[in-house]
Amino acid sequence: MFRYIVRRLLLLPVVVLGVTFLLFFLTQRLSPEMRASLYVKDPRQMGALEEVIRQYGLRDNVFKQYGRWLGQVAKGDLGYSPSANMPVSQALKEYLPATVQLALVTMILVVFFGVWFGVFSAVHKDKWQDSLARVVSVGGFSLPIFVLGLLLLMLFYGKLGWFAPGGYSFQTDLIIHGPSFKTYTGFLLVDALLNGNMRVFGDVLSHLVLPAVTLCIGSFALMVRVMRSSMLEELNKEYVRTARAKGLSPRQVVYKHAGKNAIIPVITLASIQFIRLLGGTVIVETIFDYPGIGRFGVMAAQQLDIAGILGFSLMVAVLFVLGNLLSDILYTAVDPRIRLE
Amino acid sequence: MFKNRFIKRLRTNKTSLVGLALVVFFLFVALGAPWLAPVHNKNNPYQMPQKSYAITPQPPSAQNWFGTTEQQYDLYYGVVWGARLAFQVGVTVTFFAFLIGLLVGAVAAYFGGKVDELLMRLTDIVFAVPSLVLAMVIAAMLGPDLKNMMIALTAVAWPSYARLIRGDILSVKRRDYVTAARTLGAGGTRILLRHILPNSIYPAVVVASLDIGYIVLTAASLSFLGLGAQPGTADWGQLIAMSRNWVLGTAQHPLAYWYTVVVPGAAIFLFVLGWNLLGDAFRDILDPRQV
């Protein structure tokens, strides 16, 4: 186990270097002028483009340039992002908490409704309720999140006016950037609670509803399936028959006995899905104009903001590898039969 | 045996029949596109006809059956030719990704040792970033264009096939009939080509072909983000992207522009649904343990 973790951690730099080198290599297709943004900390410096190009050897060969870039990254300098209008490191620090917050809220929704739907369909196995749950989950799996997102936006923003796009309202923007609002964690929901400002909390939460529901859809279908099959397996076991025989109500048997054991695979799946959600946030954040790291990445990609693209990819790769390692470890914690080698 | 089981499964399970019907339907639309929606630009049939440059979408009418989207692109034409483009992108990307995966997987499994290690770390690198994110970044760097989008999709799709094929080959390699062939004096190439590959490729081919739905979905996502085909191309993702400005209707009719989302959205939903339902039936056969 320990050896496994060490080996995987050693793999982290290999993978991250690989990803960044691959992308760095691709940037060579672009002119040195465009690549200069990697080394500029402030757009006012842009006047002396030719100087920047010469100073940083943007016409040197790839390996030399890559090494130089790595040196800068090691110092925490990721360059300036024209698309976000701020240094890349600052942009990542500002946008990441919003995305993590969105993914967490989504995961809570997925687990809660996934478990409920899965149990529902297992208990009513092969009846119409089961077919309904199956249709809903396969349908949800096939509905692209950008289509669902736009439909929800049309209905709940355009027609009903309940939820608005964006990360928070204009009033909240004034409050959180005002002098009396203290930033503790960067997670707006948590900070709002710590500041005791329920209006900000409610506003941020209401802006999370549509993106979270949209992001749910893919993982939700998977969750229902896993919960259903795991529940069916448990319901066929001896201890459930014993519980039934001693006269417990069906409710107690399902939720107290079988449910508790059936939920184990769901928890591990949730931890894996949490990482997978990062990919989906790219689309969802773009549709709902949610100020997270996904939208930052898309804007950087659309505007060919190289510093932004490289910084974003670096961050995602690190998060992804660490997250996968974490979910592997969690896997062994939940199910001791699994051994990591 | 495999074929019989599949046909039996199709007959007993209605949802997989629906899946098959959907896929076949789209196949007909794709093949029949020139008759269903006559080409107006001979040089590039995928270019959607544009009635005028007026911005506001127009609802379905006798002239434009599904209505028009932003800048008067005909939605009917876009959906029909979009089906053809979807198949083209899906099949091309899956084919090349599978070919690369087959090559890398076979080489890694056959040679083992350092070669294997190196190639598998290469797949780790691609797996280290969510595929949509990596495809997005690569497509952006190559420049928004249909061909570049397909290159980006292929670049992120091949590693899963490489791993799958490598695993299959490694398990087949140890089977008795391979050992038997070796003791009979068959050479390395002959064993690889005649015994190992045919027995390990088969499941992988099925898995790969069922990925077409997923590939098309990812392609549509890239187009939606503006990193796919040129503007005006009959592409489902792009049609949906054009509807983004029309989420808000007019004061009297809040849902006035529903068709701009629903028409292309339904096309891609049904396409992906068809492949997923069909894929379910196959996966049950390949892995009977799953419920």
Q: Do A279 and B140 touch (CB under 8 A)?
A: no
Chain A residues in contact with B153 by the CB 8 A cut-off are none
pLDDT at position B153 = 94
pLDDT tens digits for range A37-51: 667 666 666 667 777
pLDDT at position A298 = 92
Structural domains for chain A: 2-81 (no CATH), 88-339 (1.10.3720.10)
Chain B residues in contact with A287 by the CB 8 A cut-off are 244
pLDDT at position A296 = 92
Could you tell me the two tokens for B171?
């398990």
pLDDT at position B270 = 92
Nearest CA distance, B87 vs chain A (angstrom) = 17
CB atoms within 10 A of CB B99: 14
Q: Do A155 and B225 touch (CB under 8 A)?
A: no
Q: Cα(A232)–Cα(A237) distance, rounded to whole angstroms?
A: 9
Residue A96 near chain B (CB below 8 Å): no
Taking residues A92-96, what's their average pLDDT? Answer: 88
Asked whether the beta carbons of B216 and B271 are under 8 A apart, the reply is yes
Q: In whole angstroms, what separates CA A69 from the centre of its chain?
A: 27
pLDDT at position B288 = 47
Q: Do A313 and B277 touch (CB under 8 A)?
A: no
Chain A residues in contact with B225 by the CB 8 A cut-off are 282-283, 286, 298, 301-302
Residue A18 near chain B (CB below 8 Å): yes
Kindly tell me if the per-residue pLDDT of B48 is higher than 90.
no
H helices within A28-123, ranges in order? 32-35, 49-55, 62-74, 88-123
pLDDT at position B291 = 37
Q: Cα(A60)–Cα(B51) distance, rounded to whole angstroms?
A: 50
Kindly tell me if the per-residue pLDDT of B2 is higher than 60.
no
Asked whether the beta carbons of B155 and B138 are under 8 A apart, the reply is yes
Residue A100 near chain B (CB below 8 Å): no
Q: Do A298 and B277 touch (CB under 8 A)?
A: no
What does the angle CA B204 – CA B209 – CA B210 come to, to the nearest 5 degrees?
Answer: 100
Kindly tell me if the per-residue pLDDT of A230 is higher than 70.
yes
pLDDT at position B6 = 62
Could you tell me the two tokens for A86?
């701020």
pLDDT at position B100 = 93
Using 50, 70 and 90 to split pLDDT, how confident is the model at B96? Answer: very high
pLDDT at position B93 = 94
Using 50, 70 and 90 to split pLDDT, how confident is the model at B95? Answer: very high
Which burial class, exposed, middle or buried, applies to A152 when counting CB atoms under 10 A from its CB (0-12, 13-18, 19+)? Answer: buried
pLDDT at position A242 = 84
Using 50, 70 and 90 to split pLDDT, how confident is the model at A303? Answer: confident
Kindly tell me if the per-residue pLDDT of A119 is higher than 80.
yes
pLDDT at position A256 = 76
CA dihedral B131, B132, B133, B139 (to 10 degrees): 100
Q: Cα(A6)–Cα(A2) distance, rounded to whole angstroms?
A: 6
- The more confidently predicted of residues B49 and A115 is A115
Chain B residues in contact with A232 by the CB 8 A cut-off are 291
Q: CB-CB: which of B128, B217, B254 is closest to A158?
A: B254
Query: Structure pTM?
Result: 0.85
- Reported ipTM: the value is 0.82
Could you tell me the two tokens for B48?
């959607």
Q: Which residues contact A158 (CB under 8 A, 6 or more apart)?
A: B247, B248, B249, B254, B255
pLDDT tens digits for range B186-218: 777 777 777 777 777 777 777 787 788 889 999
Chain B residues in contact with A309 by the CB 8 A cut-off are 137, 140-141
Q: Do B128 and A19 touch (CB under 8 A)?
A: yes
Taking residues A245-259, what's their average pLDDT? Answer: 80
Nearest CA distance, A178 vs chain B (angstrom) = 31
Write down the mean pLDDT value for chain A: 80
Q: Do A159 and B255 touch (CB under 8 A)?
A: yes
- The more confidently predicted of residues B162 and A165 is B162
Give percent above pLDDT 70 in chain A. 94
pLDDT at position B55 = 75
Kindly tell me if the per-residue pLDDT of B98 is higher than 80.
yes
Residue A28 near chain B (CB below 8 Å): no
Q: Which residues 221-250 of chain A have a CB within 8 Å of chain B?
A: 228-229, 232-233
pLDDT tens digits for range B258-272: 888 888 899 999 999
- The more confidently predicted of residues B31 and A125 is B31
Picking from A28, A142, A306 by the largest number of B CB atoms within 10 A of its own CB, the best residue to mutate is A142
Give percent above pLDDT 90 in chain B. 16
Picking from A7, A20, A148, A150 by the largest number of B CB atoms within 10 A of its own CB, the best residue to mutate is A150
Least confident of A12-16, A223-227, A228-232, A330-334: A330-334
- The more confidently predicted of residues B260 and B132 is B132
CA-closest candidate to residue A281, choices A188, A201, A216? A216
Residue A156 near chain B (CB below 8 Å): no
Q: Which residue of A has its CA nearest to B133?
A: A279
